[in-house]
Amino acid sequence: MYHQEARFYQLIKQRGHLSQEDEADYLRLLTGLEGEARLAQVIQDLGLSTFYLTDLWIPLGKGTQIDGLLLVPQGLYLVEIKHYGGHFLYQGFASRLNGRPYQHDLLGQVARAQSLLQQFLRSQQLDCQLVSKLIFSQDHLQVEGLAAGQYMLWPQALAWLQGLSDQMVGQPCSRRQQLVLDLLGPLQHASPYRPRQLTSIERQTLLSGIGCPRCLRLGMTYSRYKVSCPHCGFREDKAAACLRSACEWALLNHDLPLSRSAISNYVGSKQLDRTLQRQLAKYFHPLHKGHHACYQNDYATVYQCLSQYDGV
């Protein structure tokens, strides 16, 4: 499952090294994504993907991020996913996970997201029944401090989703469901927050080359039309590899416009400049005219490109 900050750290690790703090953040993100991906796979297997929105950004107040939203005929289920194992003790901001301080009020976080989503829907003249579901997506977790109706362990979540599937599979999308999909669909992956900026040393020392999206090694080789990985055998069109490399550079340097010369250095070969220039002109908006024009660093384009490589 694509996540911009996790991919940002992955690219730095591919071409350099992560600090201890960045490595800890990266592992934390991967753990969270594992839970979200696990739930999304079950929803897909049960035929409910049409009614499931992920990684929503609700632009109200300071905004809030929602892991998932499941649309059912009677209303909406706001889904908050935590991929924890071991022991979780809920005590508000004094909660503990496996004996360590957990400095978030988990129920408060869920309640705030539900409140903001409800306000946003009403501001758009949509009044829907909204219920929150806190799901712990690992198989083995002991929970204390939460009442039975305040959360679901993984076996309970599977049974709940199976029940929804039995009710909904084969049913057409209702008018209300379609209105919610049309309103909230564009808010998927729309968080305005970006990863930290690269340091000047990182900009100077990250290794160049075409990276493989499957095995994550550098050193892909290219022929007239194709680019291939000598390590795992992954192959793709040269134009697609140039666009992917440009989008990787754009994510790493999200504070800068796209420059063909800078991306050429990132790729590590001037022989791809012509293809790279065509891809930039096709997919990005030029900030000025001329052969050396820079292009707008557009996150939507970057997301559409890089998210295609999940699970290759």
Task: Let me know whether 170 and 274 are in one domain.
Answer: no
Task: Let me know whether 172 and 258 are in one domain.
Answer: no
Task: Let me know whether 246 and 102 are in one domain.
Answer: no
- Residue 102 falls inside a structural domain: yes
Task: Let me know whether 152 and 300 are in one domain.
Answer: no
Task: Let me know whether 11 and 47 are in one domain.
Answer: yes
Rounded-to-integer distance, Cα 144 and Cα 109, Å: 18
Question: Which pLDDT belongs to residue 1?
Answer: 75
Handedness of CA 122, 126, 132, 135 (dihedral sign): negative
Task: Let me know whether 25 and 64 are in one domain.
Answer: yes
- Return all residues near 194 (Cβ < 8 A) that are at least 6 apart: 4, 254, 255, 299
- Residue 231 falls inside a structural domain: yes
Domain extent, residue 182, equals 4-187
Question: Which pLDDT belongs to residue 136?
Answer: 98
Task: Let me know whether 227 and 297 are in one domain.
Answer: yes
Task: Let me know whether 242 and 162 are in one domain.
Answer: no
Given a contact cutoff of 8 angstroms between Cβ atoms, the answer to whether 249 and 228 are in contact is no
- For 187-224, how does the pLDDT look when each residue is reduced to its tens digit (9 = 90+)? 999 999 999 999 999 999 999 999 999 999 999 999 98
- Residue 259 falls inside a structural domain: yes
Rounded-to-integer distance, Cα 175 and Cα 102, Å: 41
Write out residues in the chain with pLDDT < 70, as ranges: none
Question: Which pLDDT belongs to residue 74?
Answer: 86
- Residue 194 falls inside a structural domain: no
Task: Let me know whether 150 and 215 are in one domain.
Answer: no
- Residue 95 falls inside a structural domain: yes
CA atoms within 13 A on the CB side of 300: 8
Give the CATH number for residue 204. 1.10.10
Question: Which pLDDT belongs to residue 172?
Answer: 83
Task: Let me know whether 137 and 26 are in one domain.
Answer: yes
- Residue 195 falls inside a structural domain: no
- Residue 225 falls inside a structural domain: yes
Task: Let me know whether 130 and 227 are in one domain.
Answer: no
- Return all residues near 215 (Cβ < 8 A) that are at least 6 apart: 229, 231, 232, 234
